[in-house]
Chains A and B, each alone.
Chain A
């Protein structure tokens, strides 16, 4: 930290201290009141941890394990307020009493439920003028997921959660109400215990170790996003601020919504009693789908056996012994054929009898995941603490994939006196992930597409005596997956600390007026080291190594001032003012080595060409904000906020922006004649408007070191310095000096209805986000001499419909049945792009690729179409004698697929009977398409099941150029090459052939839980859960799981090519509480 920074910290500290000296409110004469709080539900007995507050002051206490409390209050206080989560709030007049016992009623409507909103402000749920949705720990932990985003799938409305694969540590994306940025970050801000933390990946998949560029998503490995460091077991609750109005106080970082996570702190524990709990979870996983392969044809080309070709367009496997070159029938090995790879492996007998193998099934094994957590917590009258340690180990279904994660956590809060309290939370994590690459670098190519007769698993993958000389069934543009799993390394390791400390003052100015001042300072520190090693012998070449990494340090200081005024029984007023200071410092490095001298020492020292790079970046955001809110008769709730942000990353003069928001909540059911309704328990209307922006990154145009990777090249054919000589060229991304922040205007309206004493509830929200002045790197025409210009250049909008429906069909004293349904329909439309720009590249190949395009939903898949007539019929070639006679022809490049689903529906159902509960979560994604490279390539390779019949004639569905229906018969015994030509020379060049709808219905979770009644033995409680995840799958996508795709960026979920597969798991967990 520089001197200025240190000075600033000091000043801040002074400011804070000055707040707290002299802010002490002296108390007058006091009376002590004691009593016991019990629940009206017989089995529950005393209520422990209920809050008892002297109304109009900040004085309060909690009930102990026996429900007893004791509170000293000034004589001026006339009323005590009792509250407890899940119970109705009660106000009791003291009327001179010293003992007040109380029976609390369960709050079936949840009206008094308090939710944490922006910047740590707690609000009663009913007061909100915008949609929020929260999830409690039991729902997160139910199916033993070690990945947070997976644990949320199917449980939230308006939110699209995309997982890239079932590989341990695989990236996933949470997108709330669609995208606001074409190429930038569309994931929400994560705030844990008040500290905003990094949740995205620092580097894009396919960026080749360069942190500053966009990745194509089709080379190298997936990169985990930083939410992977969070242990779901530490979480007490998650609250999602979906709309911009809800998140407005967070300013520019909140345009994608906010995920507010509260970790377990011991706060809600029974008073005084230490609680120690231990949880063990084991899960076993398998690949979720196995493709259907043809099982007749051997490797080769046009019916001939070619033992080093990727194609399986050879002879019938049973006919291999007849092959003129490799067959054994004429060579003294009847019924057998010679395998040149076995000769290469110097086996004495290279002759084998034809057999069928399944490279896919053989390669993927059973994954095992185990996690253990231990935690201790205690709540006392003067505070609470919690300590936790957990460890998760996962072995993936593919060899050499896995994750190890350690999480440690400590938090404590302490009341210093009636006005002051302090606290801190500290989290440590260590994450170690081993991965395998996909797409262009996919070792899995062989697992997906090895010829059926080739025994990939058992036949040697290297020459004896030279482990770096690979043996493979095809050319080494891809590595043998077994060799790759043994020798190549793709690892990422992260050590992370984040936490906050705070000091809080609460005091009473006069009756009905309270103030609260809070200063919090926090940090999020982590270092990630990535290692990508292609060992000597990779692609039959000399290998390469990339070490790269990032150190990120965020300092966040937050000061808030709150003023509450109960003007009278009907009218309340709240004012909040605050300041936030956020500074990020990032340092990245990369070391690349090419050309190893020899195998077995995959180290940068063994590389003959070494290049290195580093970069340092800083970002500062300073926000000043305020909100005012007022409510009248618990019926009308008004709120307005404003935030003024100044950011460092924009050009001088365009650094500051102001964002307002306003919301209204109207509890209709408080109206006189509705109050007495038998069937309508609660009804509320919500309206809100908000503006939030996103800043871009402006830099003065600069020079950079030339880069020669990409195109046809694997690795870099030219690296500077060349013989000690360097060179620098104008960077091909230019920056518009007039860059201004992009702005999102958001409108939201919704209603919340509860019927029949809360047995049925519906929450519907409509929202529309208009994003203007979208900042992105506009692709320039190559002839301008640069490739991109960072500019305000686009407009898009999102319309979302979210419905949450819950129903309790049965509720008796022993048995309950709950149903919860979340429906989301999100439409994301690109309205406008900068002049001359028709679309923007998000990822993929030269063709096909994922793009954002004008007038279409976001994103789309772009590539070579089929040549079609005006009616959309596929036109076939009509050139008798030509190889493509009667076959489709490639059309112009265009949109070949739209990614967005029509809707996503998640449903869960829970049956509870005494100590048992049975839960199931189903998710249905309807509509939407993806590029399934693996499906298309199974045809190219001649392995897809439909290529089994190669002897019948066929007519391609379409029309001839003259418009008449196609009647050209191809194939059959006299035209044996036609079927292969169709797949290897025609359809493989038409990207549209690779597009599939990927609707699916998945049984995400099923869990059965048994929890013993309290005090099973001594004070111990035991819970046992059995669960299954991703079990039943119905999908329109053939052969593969639709949730197996490339990329950790905005192309995620839409592009697949030898991607890591998804898994299905079963497991159990045991939890013990003392």
Chain B
């Protein structure tokens, strides 16, 4: 028995030795993933995800249905087209909702690293870029969804149910962030340039500064119903892009990265050519008719077949499809033509018609020259002289907005949808939509994501049964939330 006891003690020692906390820590060490990383390696994906997941994908797809850039003819897009459940369901935009907040969290991590007291204090340029990207994500979110969690959001494990901030407050924050970003980008930094980690500007801070001014112009224009500031729009736009080469684009290489509109066609095949967009082009003898669309490659017809908005037959391979959704079609964080369109609209509203005309001409030339359109300046000029000018002279704002609407097909459909809602709120329903459902069921906004609707009572309260999307405008369009 004594021996047994000895053995047992020896065994016990062995056990204690083989399970000390230090040794167990080592066994549980995560050798597969880093627990800390420099901001330059984080911000690259903030750009990719902002472009692909937020601006390029689901939000743009559904915007393009509501804005009638495309017609949904199958699955979820068909349901959105005929307004069956998708516009009011909280699951519809959930993937984007989650992507936006994931991005905002990544950007918050970067901003904290680069801010005073952070591990990369003084990394002003990365900080400035992170602030701009924060604005792009946050503004896209509030533009589409209204009041959203912000000031108490982004604290995983800390605050489980962040309350909503109102849109007016968020817009104030957006302006502040852009001003900070511009100031930070002007600072001297000892940190190396982002270089190739910057997939938009390759580390060129001037490009980012121009984008910041462009965004200031865009968001100043957005508030036209609440606080018209067209001179500001022009001032900001003048400090932004001066040619297409300067615009903020995220490019796809067609191999490891593919354009979202191309990818949605190959993976889902849910879109068809929109009758209502065609009508606007045909009215204007627009040469882009032959460039925008093609017969469905798997279809049996060689003619262009357009889907009637709101009443297409549900079925794939029948209707024609977009011909500009190619594997490398870029996503615009903001395009040069948008800046010119903003200027044109501001000048027109200030009744400075010649300046408006110049800006509109520049915008159309740039839109014709988009890499997946490929029309020349001469073709744009001819079109401008023959078709646009007379319409512009008759109703400057209407033609500017219609041209902007056409130019935004199809990558910039979120901005097209924002413009439509802003114009309607201002009583200028100049972009004609044809979906018969619009009389009662035009989505005035997007629903919150189900990820919050199911776990955050603040968002669930605001969501209700989702039918508010047909009745309540967002704040900048005259609503209350």
Q: Identify the A interface with B (CB < 8 A).
A: 4, 8, 11-12, 14-15, 18-19, 22-23, 301-302, 306-309, 311, 340, 474-477, 509, 515, 517, 539-541, 559, 561, 577, 579, 581, 595, 608-609, 614-620, 622, 624, 646-649, 652-653, 655, 698-704, 706, 708, 710-715, 717-732, 734, 736, 779-787, 789, 791, 835-839, 846-847, 864, 883-884, 890, 892-893, 984-985, 989
The answer to whether A701 and B160 touch across the interface, beta carbons within 8 angstroms, is no
Q: Would you give the shortest CB distance from B258 to chain A, in whole angstroms? A: 5
| 10 pairs of A and B residues whose beta carbons are closest in the complex | A785-B105, A786-B156, A782-B451, A727-B44, A727-B45, A702-B33, A783-B149, A781-B456, A785-B154, A648-B27
**Bound state CA distance, A864 and B91, in angstroms?**
11
The answer to whether B455 and A780 touch across the interface, beta carbons within 8 angstroms, is yes
The answer to whether A306 and B315 touch across the interface, beta carbons within 8 angstroms, is yes
Pairs A–B under 8 Å by Cβ, sample size 13: A308-B300, A655-B21, A702-B35, A703-B35, A704-B33, A712-B61, A728-B37, A729-B42, A730-B42, A779-B455, A781-B160, A781-B161, A836-B457
Q: Can you add 4 more A-B contacts, CB < 8 Å, to A609-B256, A781-B160?
A: A18-B3, A475-B269, A620-B24, A784-B160
Max count, chain A CB within 10 A of own CB: residue among B44, B313, B315 = B315
The answer to whether B102 and A785 touch across the interface, beta carbons within 8 angstroms, is yes
Q: Would you give the shortest CB distance from A92 to chain B, in whole angstroms? A: 31
Name which residue of chain B comes closest to A715, CB basis: B267
The answer to whether A311 and B267 touch across the interface, beta carbons within 8 angstroms, is no
Q: Residue B454 at the A interface, CB < 8 A?
A: yes
The answer to whether A700 and B35 touch across the interface, beta carbons within 8 angstroms, is yes
Given contacts A730-B106, A786-B156, A847-B91, A712 and B455 within 8 Å (CB-CB): no
The answer to whether A783 and B456 touch across the interface, beta carbons within 8 angstroms, is yes
Choice from A8, A608, A719 contacting B14 with Cβ under 8 Å: A8
Q: Would you give the shortest CB distance from A6 to chain B, in whole angstroms? A: 12
Name which residue of chain B comes closest to A710, CB basis: B95
The answer to whether B33 and A703 touch across the interface, beta carbons within 8 angstroms, is yes
The answer to whether B18 and A622 touch across the interface, beta carbons within 8 angstroms, is yes
The answer to whether B154 and A784 touch across the interface, beta carbons within 8 angstroms, is yes
Q: Residue B280 at the A interface, CB < 8 A?
A: no
Given contacts A782-B101, A839-B454, A708 and B313 within 8 Å (CB-CB): no
Chain A residues lying within 8 Å of B452, measured Cβ to Cβ, are: 781-783
The answer to whether A892 and B255 touch across the interface, beta carbons within 8 angstroms, is no
Q: Would you give the shortest CB distance from B197 to chain A, in whole angstroms? A: 6
The answer to whether A781 and B451 touch across the interface, beta carbons within 8 angstroms, is yes
Given contacts A609-B255, A727-B197, A783-B162, A561 and B313 within 8 Å (CB-CB): no
Q: Would you give the shortest CB distance from B45 to chain A, in whole angstroms? A: 4
- A interface footprint on B298-334 (CB within 8 Å = 1, 0 otherwise): 1110000000000001111110000000000000000
Q: Residue B183 at the A interface, CB < 8 A?
A: no
Given contacts A561-B8, A702-B34, A706-B45, A11 and B161 within 8 Å (CB-CB): no
Chain B residues lying within 8 Å of A615, measured Cβ to Cβ, are: 32
Choice from B49, B79, B84, B161 contacting A836 with Cβ under 8 Å: B161
Choice from B1, B102, B314, B318 contacting A984 with Cβ under 8 Å: B314
Name which residue of chain B comes closest to A619, CB basis: B27
Give the segment of B52-60, B127-135, B342-350, B468-476 that binds chain A: B52-60
Name which residue of chain A comes closest to B77, CB basis: A712
Q: Residue B420 at the A interface, CB < 8 A?
A: no
Chain B residues lying within 8 Å of A616, measured Cβ to Cβ, are: 31-32
**Bound state CA distance, A18 and B101, in angstroms?**
62
Name which residue of chain B comes closest to A986, CB basis: B84
Name which residue of chain B comes closest to A833, CB basis: B455
**Bound state CA distance, A309 and B319, in angstroms?**
12
**Bound state CA distance, A734 and B84, in angstroms?**
36
What is the total of A-B residue contacts with beta carbons within 8 Å?
300
The answer to whether A646 and B8 touch across the interface, beta carbons within 8 angstroms, is no
Chain A residues lying within 8 Å of B298, measured Cβ to Cβ, are: 308, 475-476, 540
Q: Residue B23 at the A interface, CB < 8 A?
A: yes
**Bound state CA distance, A786 and B162, in angstroms?**
13
The answer to whether B161 and A729 touch across the interface, beta carbons within 8 angstroms, is no
The answer to whether A15 and B7 touch across the interface, beta carbons within 8 angstroms, is yes
The answer to whether B155 and A701 touch across the interface, beta carbons within 8 angstroms, is no
**Bound state CA distance, A167 and B37, in angstroms?**
46
The answer to whether B157 and A722 touch across the interface, beta carbons within 8 angstroms, is no
Choice from B7, B30, B61, B299 contacting A699 with Cβ under 8 Å: B30
Q: Residue B25 at the A interface, CB < 8 A?
A: yes
Q: Would you give the shortest CB distance from A494 to chain B, in whole angstroms? A: 23
Given contacts A620-B24, A648-B24, A698-B28, A723 and B101 within 8 Å (CB-CB): no
The answer to whether A15 and B199 touch across the interface, beta carbons within 8 angstroms, is no
Choice from A8, A780, A846 contacting B17 with Cβ under 8 Å: A8
The answer to whether B253 and A702 touch across the interface, beta carbons within 8 angstroms, is no
What count of chain B residues pass the 8 Å CB interface test? 105
The answer to whether B196 and A780 touch across the interface, beta carbons within 8 angstroms, is no
Choice from A614, A728, A787 contacting B45 with Cβ under 8 Å: A728
Chain B residues lying within 8 Å of A728, measured Cβ to Cβ, are: 34, 37, 41-42, 45
Chain B residues lying within 8 Å of A784, measured Cβ to Cβ, are: 101, 105, 153-160, 162
**Bound state CA distance, A702 and B30, in angstroms?**
9
The answer to whether A23 and B449 touch across the interface, beta carbons within 8 angstroms, is no
The answer to whether B196 and A725 touch across the interface, beta carbons within 8 angstroms, is yes
The answer to whether A727 and B24 touch across the interface, beta carbons within 8 angstroms, is no
**Bound state CA distance, A965 and B61, in angstroms?**
40
Chain A residues lying within 8 Å of B159, measured Cβ to Cβ, are: 784
Max count, chain B CB within 10 A of own CB: residue among A18, A649, A725 = A725
Name which residue of chain A comes closest to B20, CB basis: A646
Q: Would you give the shortest CB distance from A975 to chain B, in whole angstroms? A: 16
The answer to whether B31 and A718 touch across the interface, beta carbons within 8 angstroms, is no
Chain B residues lying within 8 Å of A302, measured Cβ to Cβ, are: 313
Given contacts A23-B3, A780-B160, A785-B155, A836 and B455 within 8 Å (CB-CB): yes
The answer to whether A655 and B24 touch across the interface, beta carbons within 8 angstroms, is yes
Q: Residue B19 at the A interface, CB < 8 A?
A: yes
Given contacts A702-B34, A726-B41, A783-B456, A577 and B8 within 8 Å (CB-CB): yes
Q: Residue B172 at the A interface, CB < 8 A?
A: no
Q: Residue B15 at the A interface, CB < 8 A?
A: yes
Q: Would you give the shortest CB distance from B468 to chain A, in whole angstroms? A: 14
Chain A residues lying within 8 Å of B44, measured Cβ to Cβ, are: 722, 725-727
Q: Residue B187 at the A interface, CB < 8 A?
A: no
Q: Which residues of B in the span 227-259 have a Cβ within 8 Å of any Cβ on A?
A: 253, 255-258
Q: Would you give the shortest CB distance from A324 to chain B, in whole angstroms? A: 14
The answer to whether A648 and B28 touch across the interface, beta carbons within 8 angstroms, is yes
Chain A residues lying within 8 Å of B15, measured Cβ to Cβ, are: 579, 581, 622, 624
- A interface footprint on B405-420 (CB within 8 Å = 1, 0 otherwise): 0000000000000000
Q: Residue B97 at the A interface, CB < 8 A?
A: yes
**Bound state CA distance, A577 and B27, in angstroms?**
27
The answer to whether A15 and B257 touch across the interface, beta carbons within 8 angstroms, is no
**Bound state CA distance, A18 and B9, in angstroms?**
12
**Bound state CA distance, A646 and B91, in angstroms?**
42
Q: Would you give the shortest CB distance from A233 to chain B, in whole angstroms? A: 38
Chain A residues lying within 8 Å of B197, measured Cβ to Cβ, are: 725, 727
Name which residue of chain B comes closest to A863, CB basis: B91
The answer to whether B52 and A781 touch across the interface, beta carbons within 8 angstroms, is no
Q: Would you give the shortest CB distance from B232 to chain A, in whole angstroms? A: 31
Chain B residues lying within 8 Å of A309, measured Cβ to Cβ, are: 315-318
Chain A residues lying within 8 Å of B459, measured Cβ to Cβ, are: 781, 783
Q: Would you give the shortest CB distance from A615 to chain B, in whole angstroms? A: 4
The answer to whether A719 and B316 touch across the interface, beta carbons within 8 angstroms, is no
**Bound state CA distance, A620 and B317, in angstroms?**
56
Chain B residues lying within 8 Å of A838, measured Cβ to Cβ, are: 454-455
Chain A residues lying within 8 Å of B318, measured Cβ to Cβ, are: 306, 308-309
The answer to whether A717 and B258 touch across the interface, beta carbons within 8 angstroms, is yes
Q: Would you give the shortest CB distance from A607 to chain B, in whole angstroms? A: 11
Choice from B1, B32, B157 contacting A509 with Cβ under 8 Å: B1
Q: Would you give the shortest CB distance from B75 to chain A, in whole angstroms? A: 9
Chain B residues lying within 8 Å of A836, measured Cβ to Cβ, are: 160-161, 455-457
Chain B residues lying within 8 Å of A14, measured Cβ to Cβ, are: 10
The answer to whether A789 and B156 touch across the interface, beta carbons within 8 angstroms, is yes
**Bound state CA distance, A893 and B91, in angstroms?**
10
Q: Residue B48 at the A interface, CB < 8 A?
A: yes
The answer to whether B33 and A731 touch across the interface, beta carbons within 8 angstroms, is yes
